Structure 1
Amino acid sequence: MVVSSSFHRYLSVWQWNTTTPPSPGITRMCCTSDRLSIPSIAGQQTAAPTRVTITCPTATFTRETTCTGSTRDSTSVDGARNVYTPKPPAGDLHIAPDEYEQQSRAKRSPLNPRKPTGLNVETLVVADRKMVEKHGKENITTYVLTVMNMVSSLFKDGTIGKDINIVVVSLLLLEQDPVGLSISHHADLSLNSFCQWQSGLIGKNGKRHDHAVLLTGLDICSWKNEPCDTLGFAPISGMCSKYRSCTINEDTGLGLAFTIAHESGHNFGMIHDGEGNVCKKAEGNIMSPTLAGNNGVFSWSACSRQYLNRFLRRLLE
C-alpha cells in the first residue's frame, strides 16, 4: 500500500519469512546481507509473511555506492538488440525487447542434485497499480509469490549449470504511482524510469537488493506508447549493477514466470538462442526468442549456460 503525507511516501513491503535456516555454502551476489527466500518447491511449509514499512523521501532517495562486482557486457549484438542508455552511468547498453508467443507445456527437465554452493540473487519485486487493480488486493500477494516460486524453480533447473537461488527479499504493491516512477505502454521509457527509481530504494538495515523486477498490468510495447506483443524488456548483462539490474515484465497469467526468467536471463548476459550462436531458436528453451518449442521441456540451452558462465566469471573475478 502507498500512503502519502506532506513529507514522505510510505511503501508497504512484504518480506517472506521461513523457519528453514540458510543453506551452507551460499555465496551472496553483490554487497548483500543474509535474507530468506520463498520456497522453491511446492508444498514446503513457510511462516506467514511479515509486514514491514520502508520510508522514502518524495524528492530524493538515499544513495548507495555501486557493488564492486558489477560489470557491463559491451559486446555488439545484431539489430534485434536496441540501445538503451540510463543516466547515470553514461554509456550504451544493450536491451532485449521480447516479443514472443506463449504455448502451454507440461514437462520440466530433471533437476541436478543440489550442489554444496550457490549464488543468491536478492530480488525486489514491484507490482504496479494496474496489476494490483487487475488481481485485487486480496489476491495479488499470493499470485505474485506463486509466480516467483515458479521463477525460482526455473533457475534451479539442472540445465542452467549453476545453483542460482532467486530470493525475494521484498514485495512492493503500488496502489498509486510513486513520485519518480512513470509506467506506460512504452516499455523502454518505463524500464528507464523503473531502473532509476529502484536504484534509490534502500531496504531494511540499509542494504540494497541485487535485482529488481517490475510486474505491470499494462500491455507494453518496445519503442512506442501503445499496446503490442512485447512481453518484456531488459538490459543485457545488467545483473548486480545498481542502475541496470532491472527488468519490466507484462502480466499474462502464470506464463509471467517464463517472461521473468527469460528477462532475468538477459540480465545474466544471455542472448536469444539462434541469434549469433549455434543453438536453435525453436527448441523451446527458456532463452528461445519464441518460447514456442515442440518438446514441452522447460530448460536452458547450452548457449545460455555458456553466456551465464562467462558473465559470472567477469562478475566474481
Structure 2
Amino acid sequence: RRRRHTGDDDYNIEVLLGVDDTVVRFHGKEHVQNYLLTLMNIVNEIYHDESLGVHINVVLVRMIMLGYAKSISLIEGGNPSRSLENVCRWAVIQQKEDPEHSEHHDHAIFLTRQGFGPTGMQGYAPVTGMCHPVRSCTLNHEDGFSSAFVVAHETGHVMGMEHDGQGNRCGDETAMGSVMAPLVQAAFHRYHWSMCSGQELKRYINSYDCLLDDPFKHDWPQLPELPGINYSMDEQCRFDFGVGYKICTSFRTFDPCKQLWCSHPDNPYFCKTKKGPPLDGTECAPGKWCYKGHCMWKNANQVKQDGAWSAWSKYGSCSRSCGTGVRFRTRQCNNPAPSNGGQDCPGVNYEYQLCNIDDCPKHFEDFRAQQCQLRNSHFEYQNAKHHWLPYEHPDANKRCHLYCQSKERGEVAYMKQLVHDGTRCSYKDPYSICVRGECRHIQR
C-alpha cells in the first residue's frame, strides 16, 4: 500500500458496506454476500463510465451484516435525517483507527429494505463529506440490482454532486438517464454522468486526500464476468418487486432482454417494470443470454476481459557507474490484455531502484555537465559549434530536460531530450534525482 502523488489518474473510494437484517433475510444468508458483491461491482462500473471524466474505483474493503435488534434501532421510519445520522454514527464506531489497516474505510454505504422516508424515497446522503470521519456515508433503499444507480447517486452527493437541473444547467440530461437526475431513471442500457456532475466532481476531488492511496487486495469470491450468469429473470423479478414475483408471461412476443417485466401469480396480467433490461449474461432462451438489451447466442467473445500484469522483468543495467544511478524493471499488461471493454491493469508498468550510490571521483562529479559537454563536437547552434556548460532551468518542471548554456555567447539551448536517469534535479538539492523525466525525492 502506498500513498501516491496527486498527478496519478486513479482515485480509490474504500468502502465499508453495511447491510441490515431485512436485506440479509430477503436474500438469504448463503446468497447475500454474492448478491452484494455483484451489486457493488455494478456501482464500480457506473463510476468507470467515461462521461464522468475522472477515473474512480469503488473498492469494497469490508462488509458487515447487522442483526435484527441493531437494524431496527438504526432505521427510524419516516425520519430519513435521523436514520442517516444513526447510520453515520454506527459507521464511525466500526472504523479501524489505523489508516494503514486493510479494512480502514473512506466511505460507508448502508443498505436496507426498511422504509426510512416518504414513499418512494430511495436514498439519503449529505452533499460533500467524502473523507470526513462522520459525514462520508449514505443510506440506500435496496430493491434489486437497479439499486446500484441509487448507491452511485447518493455517493455522488457525498463527492459534491448536486441534482441535475437544480442549481445547474443539466436538467435536459435527466431524460437521457443521467445518474444525478432528481429521480433516478438510469438503467443498465442507458446511463451517463451529466456534464455538471463531472464539473462539480472536479471542483472537489483534489480536496479528498483519502482517495489517493492504493487499496489493499481483498480476497472476495470471484464472480463471473457477466453478472446475470448467476441470476435468472425470475430471481431478478423477486429482487425488484418482492417475494412471488416472476417474469411476466403475458408479453410472449416481446424480446425479454429489452426490458424486465414482472408479475405476481395472483395477478399474472398485471405486469410491472423498473424500465431497465435484465443483467448482461441472464439466460433468455436455451443457449442464449441477454447482452446489451438483446437475446443473443452465448459467445465467450462478448465476455469483458480485464487486463492483468505479466511477471516483472529482471532489473536492467544501472544508468550511472557512480554518484547514484537508476535501474528499472518492467511488466506488460498482457496476461491477459484487456478486451471487449475490460479495464486496463491498475498501477504502473515500471519500478526503479537506486544503484551505484557511492560518490564519484571529483573529476566525474557533474553528470549534467558531462551530458552538455558531449554536445560540443556535433551540436550546432545558430550555425556555429559551442562549448556547452550545464544549465539549471528556473522552471522546476523543466529541470529534468537537458538545457545547456554556450560558454562563448551565454545563450541557453534546449537539447530536445531528457537528462539521463540519476541526474540531480537541482544543484541546490542533493536528495532529488531525475527518473524518466520526473524529479523524484530519494532517501540516502
TM-score, length-scaled by structure 2: 0.43
Distance 1:180 1:297, change over 3 A: closer
Say if 2:112 is the partner of 1:209: no
Q: Shift of residue 259 of structure 1?
A: 0.4
Which residue, out of 138, 155, 159, partners 1:268? 159
CA contact (8 A) 1:180 1:197 kept: no
Give the aligned partner of residue 67 of structure 1: none
Distance 1:295 1:163, change over 3 A: closer
Counterpart of 2:143 in 1: which secondary structure? coil
Counterpart of 1:298 in 2: which secondary structure? coil
Q: Which has the higher contact order (CA 8 A, sep 6+)?
A: 1
Q: Shift of residue 135 of structure 1?
A: 1.0
Distance 1:305 1:296, change over 3 A: same
CA contact (8 A) 1:283 1:294 kept: no
Which residue, out of 126, 141, 144, partners 2:36? 144
Say if 2:146 is the partner of 1:255: yes
Say if 2:21 is the partner of 1:125: no
Which residue, out of 186, 195, 198, partners 1:302? 195
Give the aligned partner of residue 284 of structure 1: 177
Give the aligned partner of residue 96 of structure 1: none
Residues 264-283 of structure 1 show CA distances to partners (whole Å, capped at 9, x for unaligned) of 00000000101110112323
Matches within 5 A, 1:50-129: 117-129=9-21
Give the aligned partner of residue 40 of structure 1: none
Give the aligned partner of residue 313 of structure 1: 206
Q: Shift of residue 192 of structure 1?
A: 0.5
CA contact (8 A) 1:26 1:118 kept: no
Show structure 2 runs of 5+ residues with no match: 211-444
Find the aligned partners of 1:154 and 1:234 in 2 and give their Cα distance: 18
CA contact (8 A) 1:181 1:194 kept: no
Residues 281-306 of structure 1 show CA distances to partners (whole Å, capped at 9, x for unaligned) of 32311001123379952110100000
Residues 68-97 of structure 1 show CA distances to partners (whole Å, capped at 9, x for unaligned) of xxxxxxxxxxxxxxxxxxxxxxxxxxxxxx
Q: 185-194 or 251-260: which moved more?
A: 185-194
Show structure 1 runs of 5+ residues with no match: 1-21, 30-114, 223-227
Distance 1:293 1:246, change over 3 A: closer
Q: Shift of residue 119 of structure 1?
A: 0.7
Distance 1:259 1:171, change over 3 A: same
Q: Shift of residue 248 of structure 1?
A: 0.4
Say if 2:64 is the partner of 1:168: no
Q: Shift of residue 190 of structure 1?
A: 1.0
Find the aligned partners of 1:211 and 1:128 in 2 and give their Cα distance: 17
CA contact (8 A) 2:150 2:184 kept: no
Give the aligned partner of residue 282 of structure 2: none
Find the aligned partners of 1:28 and 1:145 in 2 and give their Cα distance: 30
Residues 49-76 of structure 1 show CA distances to partners (whole Å, capped at 9, x for unaligned) of xxxxxxxxxxxxxxxxxxxxxxxxxxxx
Distance 1:162 1:249, change over 3 A: same
Q: Shift of residue 26 of structure 1?
A: 7.6
Say if 2:54 is the partner of 1:158: no
Say if 2:136 is the partner of 1:240: no
Counterpart of 1:122 in 2: which secondary structure? strand
Distance 1:248 1:219, change over 3 A: same
Q: Shift of residue 171 of structure 1?
A: 0.3
Find the aligned partners of 2:150 and 2:141 in 1 and give their Cα distance: 8
Counterpart of 1:120 in 2: which secondary structure? strand
Counterpart of 2:168 in 1: which secondary structure? coil
Q: Shift of residue 202 of structure 1?
A: 2.9
Find the aligned partners of 1:217 and 1:291 in 2 and give their Cα distance: 18
Find the aligned partners of 1:244 and 1:295 in 2 and give their Cα distance: 29
Q: Shift of residue 179 of structure 1?
A: 9.4
Residue 247 of structure 1 aligns with an amino acid whose one-letter code is T
Q: Shift of residue 189 of structure 1?
A: 1.2
Q: In the comparison of the two structures, how many residue pairs are matched?
A: 204
Find the aligned partners of 2:5 and 2:178 in 1 and give their Cα distance: 27
TM-score, length-scaled by structure 1: 0.59
CA contact (8 A) 1:236 1:267 kept: yes
Residues 138-167 of structure 1 show CA distances to partners (whole Å, capped at 9, x for unaligned) of 111011111000000001111111111101
Residue 140 of structure 2 aligns with an amino acid whose one-letter code is N
Give the aligned partner of residue 193 of structure 1: 86
Find the aligned partners of 2:23 and 2:66 in 1 and give their Cα distance: 9
CA contact (8 A) 2:75 2:116 kept: no
Find the aligned partners of 2:193 and 2:34 in 1 and give their Cα distance: 27
Q: Shift of residue 315 of structure 1?
A: 3.4
Say if 2:111 is the partner of 1:219: no
